[in-house]
Amino acid sequence: MEYQTSNSNPFIDPTHAVWGWEIPLYLFLGGLVAGMMVISGYFHVSGRWRQADCVCRQLALPSLVLLSLGMLALFLDLEHKAYFWRLYLTFQPTSPMSWGSWILLLVYPALLANLALHLPAGLVQRQPEWQARREALLARPSFVRGMGVANMGLGILLGIYTGILLSSLGARPLWNSAILGPLFLVSGLSTAAALVHMLAKNTWEREALAKVDTGLLGVELLFIALFFIGLFSAGQAHSEAAALLLGGPYTAPFWVFVVGVGIVVPLFIQPLAFSHRIQHTAVAPILVLAGGLALRFVLVYAGQHSGYSPI
């Protein structure tokens, strides 16, 4: 990813960028962590965290690790790695990269606050004073609720940003759609629900998250339909970009892996599982995660092959 600075406004230049695996991986992990933050935040706001087996107690550390891996992938893709810190010398309201940089800067403290409430047992046993501090924080309902609200709010912003990062690049017609922000947010929530309900030990949580994921997959299908409607109604360049996924070289990966494997098959399996008609397994969640990853790879790669015809 080429990184330039013009009038203190850092941005991606898609006309010169050739993106490999780093950007789609970053978008996937960012959306996944965003969804995990929303789920964890909701469980804290609703009071579910008081249950000893609440899955929200396990999410802070994996979220930090996954987000850091995503940031590493983004860093590896930067052309001018030594100057990434310039993003934090200014805030440009019209720059998606500027928004994303500051959102990410706020996400880490929110995740660390969550981790402070639910430190791993082995770590607490080695540091007894940390246990006393954690209990003091847990004794303050306002702090727990505030941390939950912060995680939900920042998670939503992070999830939408991963889509806006692409949609703001007008030089690529396939990405130039306002629906990408909501689509990536819903996809991130869906993949997070899939991952978390694999981690959950509580039966009610597993079934509740499977039901939520099923609803999110339905919404994701709707947004994909709106995505294509928007492209076909926007002009010739956008219609030609949509053709990359409808008869073009990316048709099979999109419709087989993103829509078929990642959405339609889990939509069939999960209702059967939470209605107890079949045994609950990890098959559907794994397919949802694979579909969410495929969505980012297909859209990023296909978008780089879309453009405007020279006049």
Co-location of 14 and 108 in the same domain: yes
With bands split at pLDDT 50, 70 and 90, how would you rate the model's confidence at 306? confident
Can you tell me the distance from the alpha carbon of 300 to that of 128, in angstroms, rounded to the nearest whole number?
48
Co-location of 150 and 250 in the same domain: no
Co-location of 114 and 207 in the same domain: no
Co-location of 161 and 208 in the same domain: no
With bands split at pLDDT 50, 70 and 90, how would you rate the model's confidence at 123? low
Quick one: average pLDDT of 75-83? 71
Tell me which of 102 and 84 has the higher pLDDT: 102
pLDDT at 80 > cutoff 70: no
Co-location of 16 and 151 in the same domain: yes
Can you tell me the distance from the alpha carbon of 262 to that of 217, in angstroms, rounded to the nearest whole number?
9
CB proximity list for 244: less than 8 A, separation 6 or greater: 174, 250, 251, 302, 305, 306
Co-location of 162 and 112 in the same domain: yes
Co-location of 89 and 221 in the same domain: no
How do residues 249-263 score in pLDDT, each as one tens digit? 999 999 999 999 999
| Host domain of residue 289 | 176-183+192-311
Percent of the chain with pLDDT over 70: 84
Phi, psi torsion values for 3, nearest 5 degrees:
-120, 125
Q: What is the CATH number of the domain that holds 116?
A: 1.20.1630.10
If one counts the domains in the chain, the total is 2
Co-location of 112 and 20 in the same domain: yes
Boundary-marking domain end, from 169, 200, 228: 169
Co-location of 148 and 215 in the same domain: no
Co-location of 103 and 151 in the same domain: yes
Co-location of 113 and 213 in the same domain: no
With bands split at pLDDT 50, 70 and 90, how would you rate the model's confidence at 34? very high
Confidence at residue 127, expressed as pLDDT on a 0 to 100 scale: 67
Co-location of 211 and 69 in the same domain: no
pLDDT at 113 > cutoff 60: yes
For residues 72 and 179, the answer to whether their CB atoms sit within 8 Å is: no
Is this prediction's pTM over 0.85? yes
Quick one: average pLDDT of 267-285? 91
With bands split at pLDDT 50, 70 and 90, how would you rate the model's confidence at 167? confident
pLDDT at 272 > cutoff 60: yes
pLDDT at 289 > cutoff 60: yes
